[in-house]
């Protein structure tokens, strides 16, 4: 591209120089030739007037007297009646410029000048025009190189940016070049980079959330299937199979919730449900794991509470809190239910050391963990709670008390067409 820009600029300059340069040479040549002719004419007329005045005053007219009146490059011949011709200067050879002036006393004065003087002057003019044209070409080349670099370098940068986007590096460069068209392309690439970055972040977040949230249901399902393979009792097989089917349904719900939440965190399918059923389901699923480490999990508080939310999502939130207590807490884990205002609250607490003081509410941030864990579980739990209009908070750091707040008011469904009223 640089070469093409330089060549095109140089071609334009050469065409301009050729057109205007040739015209200028022709005009200047004619001007110089006409000027030389006028000079010879004026010299002949002037010399004739001098001769007239000397004849009228009866003064001598000789070559010595008139020599100072004729320039060195000119040759003059004065013819006076009844007297021999008077020659001043050297007679030029070759082509000459001449003019003959007639005096009032019958004399004639002829002045000649070699055309070589015109040729020399035209040559000097051509040399000046050529020098100016050369300077114009040099300036044009330098300007073309500068302009080519100004245009080619940004294009190279934009190509590198596009290549980085294609290779999976979506960082915007926020670099501008002072050229509106190129800056527009840079704006579009930066916007695309930001969108791609958000998409990649969402995909990575979905993958991390799915890996974390599916681990526990899959482990529980594996345990149920192992129980089935180790027994021959049809009743136990049937019971375990039913539990496994229930866990598969929950697993499907987990996947659907993760996908829905990844597209729109505020998209929920809240309904009124029995909170005790969800809590008892979690207790049944987690008791074997707690018994395996010599700990207990219990529930207390107000019974037969109804809350508004998505049962599957609430189960995932409680599972995240219970798993967090299993991994990082100690002693007995207690799930307490209570009512505050128009909200049902499920508190999850244990007898462990609690949340470190330097973490505080940052415990809900992704990658933040008090131990060597992913730091994803509580962040996903808060997102799920907020998706249904609830909230998850750390009520007390030591001993740890997490509170899940859910509305008790059933969702109000707008009548059809309310969002688009008819204008009458």
d(CA 372, CA 328): 10
What are the chain's domains? 2-137 (3.30.450.250), 265-407 (3.30.565.10)
d(CA 225, CA 243): 10
Q: Are strands 297-301 and 333-340 parallel, antiparallel or unpaired?
A: parallel
CB 410: neighbour CB atoms within 10 A?
Answer: 11
- How much is the pLDDT for 424? 32
CB 358: neighbour CB atoms within 10 A?
Answer: 7
d(CA 398, CA 96): 119
CB 147: neighbour CB atoms within 10 A?
Answer: 14
CB 70: neighbour CB atoms within 10 A?
Answer: 18
d(CA 148, CA 198): 36
**Residuewise pLDDT in 10s, the chain (424 residues):** 667 777 788 888 888 888 888 888 888 888 988 988 898 899 889 888 888 888 888 888 888 888 888 888 888 888 888 888 888 888 888 888 888 988 887 889 898 888 888 888 888 888 988 898 888 888 888 888 887 777 777 777 778 778 877 777 777 777 787 778 778 888 888 888 777 777 766 666 666 666 666 666 676 677 667 777 877 778 777 877 777 777 777 677 666 666 665 544 444 567 889 999 999 988 888 888 888 899 999 999 999 899 998 888 888 889 889 988 888 889 999 999 999 989 999 999 999 888 887 776 678 877 655 555 555 778 888 888 888 788 999 998 888 999 999 998 765 554 444 444 433 3
- How much is the pLDDT for 240? 73
Specify whether the CB–CB gap between 61 and 54 falls below 8 A.
yes
SS (H, E, C) 48-111: HHHHHHHHHCCCCCCHHHHHHHCCCCCEEEEECCCCCCEEECCCCCCCEEEEEEECCCCCEEEE
Tokens, residue 25: 């040479």
- How much is the pLDDT for 423? 36
77 pairs with which residues across the strands?
87, 110
What are the counts of helices (DSSP H) followed by strands (DSSP E) for the chain? 8, 11
Sign, CA torsion 358/363/368/370: positive
- How much is the pLDDT for 212? 60
- How much is the pLDDT for 206? 63
Phi, psi of 16 (to 5 degrees): -65, -45
């Amino acid at each position: 591209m640089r070469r093409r820009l330089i060549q095109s600029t140089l071609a334009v300059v050469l065409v301009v120089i050729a057109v205007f340069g040739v015209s200028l040479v022709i005009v200047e040549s004619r001007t110089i030739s006409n000027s030389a002719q006028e000079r010879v004419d004026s010299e002949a007329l002037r010399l004739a007037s001098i001769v007239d005045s000397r004849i009228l005053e009866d003064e001598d007219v000789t070559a010595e007297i008139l020599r100072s009146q004729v320039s060195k490059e000119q040759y003059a011949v004065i013819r006076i009646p009844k007297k021999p011709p008077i020659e001043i200067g050297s007679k030029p050879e070759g082509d000459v410029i001449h003019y003959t002036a007639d005096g009032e006393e019958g004399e004639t004065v002829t002045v000649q000048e070699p055309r070589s003087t015109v040729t020399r002057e035209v040559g000097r003019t051509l040399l000046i025009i050529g020098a100016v044209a050369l300077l114009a070409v040099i300036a044009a080349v330098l300007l073309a190189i500068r302009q080519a670099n100004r245009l080619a370098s940004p294009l190279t940068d934009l190509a590198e940016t596009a290549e980085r986007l294609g290779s999976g590096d979506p960082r915007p460069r926020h670099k501008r070049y002072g050229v509106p068209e190129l800056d527009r392309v840079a704006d579009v690439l930066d916007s695309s980079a930001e969108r791609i970055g958000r998409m990649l972040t969402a995909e990575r977040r979905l993958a991390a959330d799915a890996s974390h949230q599916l681990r526990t249901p899959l482990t529980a399902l594996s345990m149920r299937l192992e129980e089935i393979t180790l027994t021959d009792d049809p009743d136990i097989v049937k019971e375990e199979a039913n539990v496994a089917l229930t866990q598969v349904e929950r697993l499907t719900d987990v996947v659907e919730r993760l996908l829905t939440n990844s597209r729109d965190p505020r998209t929920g399918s809240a309904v009124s449900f029995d909170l005790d059923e969800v809590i008892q389901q979690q207790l049944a699923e987690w008791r074997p794991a707690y018994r395996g480490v010599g700990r207990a999990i219990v529930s207390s508080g107000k019974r037969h509470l109804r809350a508004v939310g998505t049962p599957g999502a609430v189960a995932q939130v409680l599972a995240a809190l219970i798993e967090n207590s299993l991994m990082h807490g100690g002693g007995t884990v207690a799930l307490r239910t209570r009512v505050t205002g128009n909200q049902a609250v499920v508190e999850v607490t244990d007898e462990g050391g609690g949340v470190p003081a330097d973490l505080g509410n940052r415990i809900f941030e992704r990658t933040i963990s008090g131990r060597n864990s992913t730091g994803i579980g509580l962040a996903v739990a808060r997102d799920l709670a907020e998706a249904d209009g609830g909230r998850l908070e750390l009520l007390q750091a030591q001993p740890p008390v997490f509170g899940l707040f859910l509305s008790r008011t059933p969702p109000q469904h707008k009548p059809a067409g309310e969002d688009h009223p008819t204008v009458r």
